[in-house]
C-alpha cells in the first residue's frame, strides 16, 4: 500500500490574511479534508499549489499599502 500524496513540507504556518499554509499553499479546509480526498482530487490541488505559492504574500501587500497611506503616497 502506498502513502497518501501530500505537498506538506512541515512548515505549517497559516497566513492570517490569505488563510493558506505558507509551507505548502493549501487552505485550512484542504488540509482538514486531505485524507478524505481522492488521489485525483489531491493531485489537482497539488497542481495548483506552485501558482498559489508564487503569488505575492497578501500580508506584505496589506502592510505596504498601509505604509503608503500613512506616508500619503497611496
pLDDT of residue 74: 56
DSSP at 1: -
Range of the domain at 21: 7-74
**Residue 13, in any domain of the structure:** yes
Q: Which residue's C-alpha cell is 497566513?
A: 15
Return the half-sphere exposure (C-beta side, CA atoms, 13 A cut-off) of residue 8: 14
More confidently predicted of 69 and 47: 47
**Residue 22, in any domain of the structure:** yes
End-to-end CA distance of the chain: 56
Q: How many domains does the chain have?
A: 1
pLDDT above 70: residue 65: no
**Residue 2, in any domain of the structure:** no
**Residue 24, in any domain of the structure:** yes
Exposed/middle/buried for residue 23 (C-beta within 10 Å: 0-12, 13-18, 19+): middle
pLDDT of residue 68: 57
**Residue 1, in any domain of the structure:** no
What whole-number distance in Å separates Cα of residue 61 and Cα of residue 66? 9
More confidently predicted of 68 and 52: 52
Amino acid at each position: 500500500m502506498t502513502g497518501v500524496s501530500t505537498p506538506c513540507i512541515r512548515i505549517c504556518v497559516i497566513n492570517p490574511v490569505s488563510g493558506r499554509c505558507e509551507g505548502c499553499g493549501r487552505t485550512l479546509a484542504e488540509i482538514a479534508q486531505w485524507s478524505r480526498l481522492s488521489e485525483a482530487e489531491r493531485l489537482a490541488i497539488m497542481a495548483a499549489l506552485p501558482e498559489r505559492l508564487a503569488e505575492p504574500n497578501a500580508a506584505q501587500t496589506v502592510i505596504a499599502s498601509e505604509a503608503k497611506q500613512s506616508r500619503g503616497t497611496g
